[in-house]
Structure 1
Amino acid sequence: MSDRMSIGDAARHLGLEPDTLRYYERKGIVPAPTKDSAGHRVYTETQLHLLEVLLHLKSTGMPMVKIAAFTRLVASDPDGVPERLDLLRDHREQVIQEIESWQHSMRVINRKIEDYNQRLGGHGPQ
């Protein structure tokens, strides 16, 4: 990866559309990137790393309001770790609870598959 990326390159790198990055920026969910002399958005490696973290938070169910709060904490005090740490620890607990719930659901599903396979005489699809 180069030191700086256009919005198109950054979006491809992140698996998003450029419009999604613009939307997140307008809503205050992600910080505004720097702009070049022509006024085009330019993403640095540091900004891309933050975006990747934010996308992981989103994919694990963190509400956009909390993601925006995390972003504001980063922007207001890059060295202000305690508040971000608390936010991440709280979210981690929610993710752990969700994983445990999914694991329980998976056990129920597996039991039902076993049950139905037995009803079919063990000849059904696994």
Structure 2
Amino acid sequence: MNIKQVSEKYNIPSDTLRYWERIGALPSIVRNSSGYRDYDEEDEQWVYWTNCMRNAGVSIERIVEYIDLFKRGNGTILARKALLKEQLDVIVKHQTELQKMYDLLDDKIEHYEDQMLKYERKLKNPE
């Protein structure tokens, strides 16, 4: 699959795919005889994984770190697992914060007429 096809399939700009490869957030993509990137199934899995990690808020530096560890082989399995665990903890913390914001807004919407409108009127017309 060429870069345009991968870009369209995963809704990731071609420039982003090139950037990810250049900095090591994707393993090197094999080139065909004409010099164009030729993504195979494993490459696509890396694109999907990297995109998922970015969408989850994982920094590009952490992704590069993970891939560097991956390239070093099985001796880094525990380090890779620890890195993923740390990132999961960050996501859980963020998820908890989002849930608190959601609950606050949901409560405000639920009680808008009897609480918020009174409060807003008070702000407009201080006594």
Q: TM-score, normalised by structure 1?
A: 0.83
List runs of 5+ in structure 2 lacking aligned partners. Answer: 118-127
Q: Percent identity?
A: 24
* SS of corresponding position for 2:44: helix
Equivalence for 1:103: 99
Q: Which runs of 5+ in 1 are unaligned?
A: 121-126
Per the alignment, residue 9 of structure 1 pairs with 5
Task: Confirm or deny that 1:74 pairs with 2:70.
Answer: yes
Give the C-alpha shift of residue 39 in structure 1.
0.9
Aligned-partner residue type, residue 55 of structure 2: S
> Are residues 1:23 and 2:19 paired?
yes
SS state of the match for residue 33, structure 2?
coil
SS in structure 2 opposite 1:43? coil
* Separation in 2, partners of 1:91, 1:63: 9
Instruction: Give the aligned partner of residue 34 of structure 1.
Output: 30
User: Which whole-Å CA distance do the structure 1 matches of 2:38 and 2:114 have between them?
Assistant: 59
Paired residues in the alignment total 116
CA distance in 2, matches of 1:37, 1:44: 15
Q: Does the C-alpha gap of structure 1 residues 23 and 78 become closer, same or farther in structure 2, counting only changes over 3 Å? A: farther
CA distance in 1, matches of 2:44, 2:17: 11
User: CA 1:8 to 1:69, structure 2 compared with 1: closer, same or farther past 3 Å?
Assistant: same
Q: C-alpha deviations, 1:60-99, integer Å up to 9, x for none?
A: 1111110111111222326742221111111111111111
1:113 corresponds to which letter in structure 2?
Answer: I
Give the TM-score normalised by structure 2: 0.82
Rg comparison, structure with higher value: 2
* Structure with more helix by fraction: 2
CA distance in 1 between partners of 2:101 and 2:76 (Å): 39
Which amino acid is the alignment partner of residue 89 of structure 1? K
